[in-house]
Amino acid sequence: MEKNSPLKQLIERFPEPLILVNKNAFFYCNQSVKSLLGDRLDPLRLFPDHVVQKLESVTQESGVLKGEEISLNLKDKEERHIAISGVAVGGTGLFLIYDLTEIKTLLRILKNSRDKFRTVLDALQDIVFVVDNSLKIQNANLAAAQWLNEDIKNIIGKDCTIIYEKNRLKEREPSVSLVKKVFDLKEPQQTELKLNDPNGEQRWFLQLALPIFDDKGQVRQVAIILQNIHDQKEKEASILSLNKELKEKNDRLEKLIKRLKETQAQLIQTEKMASIGQLAAGVAHEINNPVGFVNSNVQTLRDYVQDILDLLVLYDEFKNAVLSGEKAKINELADAIEAKKDEIDLEFLLNDIYELLEQSEDGLERVKKIVQDLKDFSHVDQAELKEIDINSAILSTLNVVWNELKYKANVKKELSEDIPLILGFPQKLNQVFMNILVNAAQAIEDRGEIKIVTRKVEHPRLGVEIEISDTGCGMTEEVKQRIFDAFFTTKPVGKGTGLGLNIAYKIVKAHKGEIRVSSQPGKGTTMTVFLPVLNEEEIKDSLQREEGVASVWMGALEEELNVQR
């Protein structure tokens, strides 16, 4: 071919690789061939023999070659995939070479992606269909094929209503409408429905309809996903049933708790009334002693007054006789007066009257003190929060419960004078001291000793420590661990409710204090109460939440006294 011939220039300027072949094989190629295959003198040497033969045959026969694909392994280049097409006229063939390398690479990547997608899709247990806007199935996974008992290739192109054909019309239409809604709204949709599985059993499914968009933002396809939620729904139904059952049980439990609280309140009240009755009996006994001899003295004084009145009558008659000058009667009355004075022993009577009055005053003062101590103990007129002298509170409590203690123990007191005042409710703290003292007396079988010690402490904070010890029977470790438990008692049935120390424990805790016990069987028990010095903010809310000890001692005492009268 001439160097500057128009044909050569045309071939060189052509952008795609071109090869000229004549009857004598390779004739000429442009620069694009050299760029693609390398700077070779004869590029046909790179082609397989069968391809070279085909090119020569087409050239000799003036034929046509369409898309002959081959792969070339070049030494200095990567593997190339090409396709050759061309025509031959008059013993010369013109062949165009297409570089398919990038296309082949992209197709391979696409195929790998599709294979991976198919693997993932088929691995899903959920049933997946992909439909177009005409509701025709375009793709499906293995679970979908098993659902319809068909091969995947037989499903493609069918109407999506086949998914629901085993179910009633009223169940099909909402499902299909849901898919149409996704095309219209361009938003995912979902619903729960019951479908018949391949075995004809109804099962709950969650149907998701997800839009698949094209590059223009239009919904090109919709993915229908059916998730089997039958087990979940059954569990939900079971949970709802259990919740209903639990609610019913909780309602019954709340009623039972309410009844238990009412019963507990009654038992606490029983404990209070038992303590009140016991206390009232003891206080009544203490009051009855002075009241008894005051009453006896009053009877004696009444007799003395009658004797004196009788003597005064004689003196009055004697005065009248003197005024009337009746000497005989004067002598008679004078003798009668002397006889009466001897009869009543006037000198003794006058002296005894003063002694009886002094004894009665002492007795009434004793009653007054007992009543005042009882009033101080119960604080019926002081139910509010106030500063308390613990020593005074203990002494008042001792006087109130003295009848319970005096026959069982000698009481020894070591009350420190430098203890600080404690902010709290006096009535409640007196209840604590009473319960501990009565328990101490009841723990002594014959006669023993009860020792009360108060002291000021500064650690862990400023406060008062009250230590009440007895020489009673003591207690085992097991009993010691439970003495503050509600309803726990070692007393015989009917002798105690087991709430006394429990109430005491709660009262001390309400005052942010502590109560400790130390005991050994046969060696007695020591109860130690620590009460800190608190400000009003620290204690008020806590105390108001705690159940107060009823201030009804005076009424119970009056009732007991009436019974004894």
pLDDT digits 0-9 by tens, 323-361: 888 888 888 888 888 898 888 888 888 888 888 888 788
Q: pLDDT for 112-121, tens place per residue?
A: 887 787 777 7
Query: Which residues, 6+ apart, have CB-to-CB distance to 427 below 8 Å?
Result: 377, 378, 379, 382, 383, 548, 549, 551
Beta bridge partners of 21: 26, 93
Give the pLDDT mean for 523-551.
71
Cβ pair 507, 556 in contact under 8 A: no
Give the pLDDT mean for 230-240.
87
CATH 2.70.98.60 fits 124-228, yes or no: no
In the chain, % of residues over pLDDT 70: 83
Beta bridge partners of 456: 464
Helix (H, G, I), strand (E, B) or coil at 5: coil
Q: Give 464's pLDDT tier (boundaries 50, 70, 90).
A: very high
Q: Which regions of 189-262 does DSSP assign to beta strands (E)?
A: 189-196, 202-213, 219-228
Domain 6-104's class? Answer: alpha beta
Cβ pair 466, 433 in contact under 8 A: yes
Among 46-55, 388-397, 532-541, the least confident range? 532-541
Domain at 378-564, CATH from 3.30.230.10, 2.40.50.140, 3.30.565.10, 1.10.1740.110: 3.30.565.10
**Look-up: residue for tokens 């011939």?**
5
SS (H, E, C) 421-458: CEEECHHHHHHHHHHHHHHHHHHCCCCEEEEEEEEEEC
Cβ pair 210, 225 in contact under 8 A: yes
Q: pLDDT for 258-314, tens place per residue?
A: 887 777 666 666 655 555 555 666 566 567 767 777 888 888 889 889 989 988 998
**Identity of residue 284:** A
**Radius of gyration, alpha carbons of the chain:** 59
Spell 258-292 as b/e; 16+ CB within 10 A means b. eeeeeeeeeebeebbebbbebbbbbbbebbbebbe
CA–CA dist 353, 68 (Å, integer): 155
**Look-up: residue for tokens 């003395």?**
304
Cβ pair 534, 512 in contact under 8 A: yes
CA–CA dist 283, 405 (Å, integer): 12
Q: pLDDT for 170-223, tens place per residue?
A: 566 778 888 899 999 999 999 888 887 777 788 888 989 999 998 888 999 999
Q: Give 551's pLDDT tier (boundaries 50, 70, 90).
A: very low
More confident residue, 551 or 167: 167
Helices 346-378 and 426-443 cross at an angle (nearest 10°) of 110
Q: pLDDT for 398-453, tens place per residue?
A: 888 888 888 889 999 999 999 999 988 888 888 899 889 988 998 898 899 999 99
Give which of 409, 496, 497, 400 is closest to 449, Cα–Cα: 409
The domain limits of the chain are 6-104, 124-228, 246-370, 378-564
CA–CA dist 511, 456 (Å, integer): 17
- The model carries a pTM of 0.41
Joined together, the tokens standing for residue 420 give 């600080």
Average pLDDT, the chain: 81
CA–CA dist 319, 331 (Å, integer): 12
- Within a 10 A sphere around the Cβ of 539, how many other Cβ atoms? 20
Joined together, the tokens standing for residue 214 give 């094209």
6-104 matches 124-228 in fold: yes
Cβ pair 206, 126 in contact under 8 A: no
CA–CA dist 417, 391 (Å, integer): 8
